[in-house]
């Protein structure tokens, strides 16, 4: 059978980058093996359903270029691909398990269940379970007479269907990443498979759908390892061949101390979503990597290196290269720390590879925040190409590019000037005069700066910094020759004279 994998998120909130990484690894594995990548929305937990979450999931993947072969809005031979549209199907399979003796009806009320747990806690049981021992003391079809069970069902009494986990059995499965994993059934409880609200739980729905959709490999996060023995039992009880399992390592906080959460990411100064998320209830917004200026190629590369070890000694990969190199046996077991500084560097390397047209395309959504109307497109494109050497994100590059089109605040100029005296003032004035009169290229400008600095006994580096600060209000940037060419001769002279005049006025005020 050809490879078929799925990414099956629940629309209970925005898509965390950990989920994006899971989708990416499924996508890479499918494409590497000429298989199919399926998107399935597991929306059976109606109590936790969040409006807009499904769109956030799909838009996050689309922005990154992770396209699905089958799924919502695309279709496919095994649809529908939203579990809420397949509910009647799950009841049929839950009832089949009851008939086979592998599941049972449970009529315990929430109050009875809480009282049961409280009794066990008082008896010294730290983690009370509804299992092969305790089920015999509860209200279910294993302890009640058959006629009473039938009466309860016919009268509309709420009930759930639970899996009947066998006593004292070894349940093991092979994990492509971790090798053999083993559980004793005594560690498991009788999970609810079908809820009283008419919806299945994750355990039943995902196993039924994976079988019916012919999924060959289940690639998901390691947090699902404790649930896998239940899924293995379900495959056995149904008489179905189980897929291969591969559980991905966690993405960890930058300090390595625990899973990367939204709070930990905010504290460290970076997003935890691919794209912006606005909570429909609180209206609170959280920017994504797209909004802070990452490009899809960069974030894809960053996420791929979180847990996967490439065969080559390099860190920059295109999506096509990732597909070519990706193997599950190169995914590690240990958690991967998220390093934001490294992520920005990787993003910058991909920005440097962009064509001028593509760079402008990625910058375009932000332009209105940085530039007023009337900015020359050709000059802007040239400026972006020069400034991208200095910025790690699109936003950083645009912030630097502003200096080409707008003079800096004088306060920032005065704060950053390395020194100011009569020699500096005279040298700066002479430089403005030279620029205004002569046709100069980048090389000539460098020579003129050297000559003027020498004539007025100034250090060349400090004089260059003085010019840069006067022009941009910044201490760093592209080579001065390129910067001056971009700004234009007339504007350069105007900005220098603006600083000279302001300094002169300040001197007069102090004298008075």
Pair 477, 400: CB distance under 8 Å: yes
Q: Per this entry, what is the length of the chain?
A: 512
Smallest Cα–Cα separation from 9: which of 43, 36, 46, 34?
Answer: 43
The one catalytic residue among 32, 259, 262, 342: 262
Which tokens hold the place of 36? 């199919």
Residue 295 structure tokens? 């490009």
Cβ neighbour number for residue 61 with a 10 Å cutoff:
25
The residue among 451, 458, 480, 459 whose CA lies nearest residue 468 is 480
Q: Among 314, 322, 277, which residue's Cα sits nearest to residue 296?
A: 322
Angle at 59 between CA 204 and CA 275, to 5 degrees: 110
Quick one: how far is CA 500 from the chain centroid?
48
Is 62 marked active-site? no
Which tokens in the block code for residue 473? 């209000």
d(CA 346, CA 353): 11
Give the C-alpha separation, 14 to 1, whole Å.
34
Among residues 169, 191, 188, the alpha carbon closest in space to that of 127 is found at 188
User: Are 22 and 61 contacting, i.e. CB atoms less than 8 angstroms apart?
Assistant: no
Distance between alpha carbon 503 and the CA centroid of its chain, in Å? 49
Q: What DSSP string runs through 234-287? A: HHHHHT-PPPEEEEEPPEEPTTSSSB--HHHHHHHTS-SBSS-EE-TTT--EE-
Quote the tokens at residue 47. 């109590």
Say if residues 333 and 318 touch (Cβ distance below 8 Å): no
ω into 80 cis (within 30 of 0): yes
SS3 of 141, please?
coil
Measured CA to CA, the distance from residue 191 to residue 226 in angstroms comes to: 12
Q: Which residues are catalytic?
A: 262
């Amino acid at each position: 059978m050809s490879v078929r994998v799925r990414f099956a998120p629940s629309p209970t909130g925005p898509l965390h980058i950990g989920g994006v990484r899971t989708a990416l690894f499924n996508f890479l594995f499918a494409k590497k093996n000429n298989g199919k990548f399926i998107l399935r929305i597991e929306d059976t937990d109606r109590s936790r359903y969040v409006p807009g979450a499904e769109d956030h999931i799909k838009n996050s993947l689309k922005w990154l270029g992770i396209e699905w072969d089958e799924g919502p809005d695309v279709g496919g031979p095994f649809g529908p691909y939203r579990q809420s549209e397949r509910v009647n199907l799950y009841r049929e399979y839950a009832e089949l398990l009851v008939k086979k003796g592998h599941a049972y009806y449970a009529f315990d009320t929430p109050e009875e269940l809480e009282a049961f747990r409280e009794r066990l806690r008082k008896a010294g049981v730290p983690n009370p379970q509804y299992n092969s021992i305790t089920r015999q003391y509860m209200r279910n079809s294993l302890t009640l007479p058959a006629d009473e069970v039938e009466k309860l069902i016919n009268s509309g009494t709420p009930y759930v269907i639970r899996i009947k986990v066998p006593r004292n059995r070894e349940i093991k499965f092979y994990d492509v990443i971790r090798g053999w994993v083993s559980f004793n059934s005594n560690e498991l409880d009788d999970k609810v498979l079908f809820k009283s609200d008419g919806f299945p739980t994750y355990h039943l729905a995902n196993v039924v759908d994976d079988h019916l959709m012919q999924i060959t490999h289940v690639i998901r996060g390691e947090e699902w390892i404790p649930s896998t023995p239940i899924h293995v039992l379900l495959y056995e009880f149904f008489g179905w061949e189980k897929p291969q399992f591969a559980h991905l390592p966690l993405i960890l906080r930058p300090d390595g101390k625990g899973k990367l959460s939204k709070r930990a990411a905010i504290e460290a100064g970076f997003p935890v979503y691919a794209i912006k998320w606005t909570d429909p209830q609180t209206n609170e917004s959280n920017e994504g990597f797209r909004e802070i200026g990452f490009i899809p190629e960069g974030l894809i590369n960053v996420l791929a290196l979180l847990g996967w070890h490439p065969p080559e000694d390099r860190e920059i990969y295109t999506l096509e290269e990732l597909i070519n190199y990706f193997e599950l046996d190169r995914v590690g077991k240990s958690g991967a720390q998220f390093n934001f500084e490294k992520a920005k560097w990787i993003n910058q390397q991909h920005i440097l590879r962009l064509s001028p047209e593509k760079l402008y395309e990625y910058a375009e959504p932000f332009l209105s925040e940085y530039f007023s109307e009337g900015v020359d497109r050709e000059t802007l494109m040239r400026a972006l190409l020069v400034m991208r050497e200095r910025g790690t994100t699109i936003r950083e590059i645009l912030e630097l590019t502003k200096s080409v089109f707008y003079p800096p605040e004088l306060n920032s100029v005065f704060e950053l000037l390395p020194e100011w005296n009569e020699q500096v003032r005279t040298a700066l004035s002479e430089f403005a005069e030279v620029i205004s009169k002569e046709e100069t290229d980048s090389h000539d400008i460098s020579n003129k700066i050297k000559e003027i600095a020498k004539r007025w006994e100034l250090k060349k580096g400090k004089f260059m910094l003085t010019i840069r600060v006067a022009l941009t209000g910044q201490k760093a940037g592209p080579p001065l020759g390129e910067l001056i060419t971009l700004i234009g001769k007339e504007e350069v002279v105007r900005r220098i004279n603006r600083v000279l005049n302001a300094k002169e006025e300040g001197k007069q005020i102090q004298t008075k």
